[in-house]
Amino acid sequence: MASLQGYVDRRVLLVLQDGRVIVGTLVGFDQKSNVVLSESKERVYSMEEGVEEIPLGLYLVKGDMIVLIGEIDDAIDEAVDLATIHAEPILPIRY
C-alpha cells in the first residue's frame, strides 16, 4: 500500500494543485490523504528574486489539493541557499 505512514514526524515538501510549494513537518494524515503540517512555510519561487519563505504555522491541507508529498533530506536542504535559487513557479494542474 502506498501509505503516508512513513512520512509522519518527517520534514516533507508538498506540491499543490495551484503550483504552490509548502514545506513542514507531517504530524497527521487520513485515508483521503488530507494532511496536517506543523511549522509549515510556503516557498515562493520566481525568476526575478531568490526563493521567499512565508511562515504559515500549523496547516491542514485537503487531500484533493495535493499533487505530491516528498520527504526532505535535511542535509541537502540545509546546504542549499534558497536566496540564490531562481526558478519558474511550478505550473498549476491542467486537466
Partner 1 sequence: MLIFSVFKTLTDQRVTVELKNDLSISGVLKSVDQFLNIRLDSIKVLDETRHPHMMAVKNCFIRGSVVRYVQLPAEHVDTQLLEDATRREAANQTRR
Interacting residues with partner 1 (CB under 8 A)? 1-4, 7, 13, 15, 17, 19, 21, 33, 43, 45, 63, 66-74, 76-77, 80, 85, 87-88, 90-95
Q: Give the shortest CB-74-to-partner 1 separation in angstroms.
A: 8
| Rounded-to-integer distance, Cα 78 and Cα 19, Å | 23
Strand order from edge to edge, sheet including 35-44: 11-16, 21-29, 35-44, 52-61
Q: Which is nearer to partner 1, 58 or 68 (CB)?
A: 68
Q: Which is nearer to partner 1, 55 or 81 (CB)?
A: 81
Q: Give the shortest CB-47-to-partner 1 separation in angstroms.
A: 11
Residue from 35, 23, 40 nearest 64 by CA: 35
Q: Give the shortest CB-24-to-partner 1 separation in angstroms.
A: 14
| Rounded-to-integer distance, Cα 39 and Cα 91, Å | 25
Q: Give the shortest CB-65-to-partner 1 separation in angstroms.
A: 9
Cell of 49: 528574486
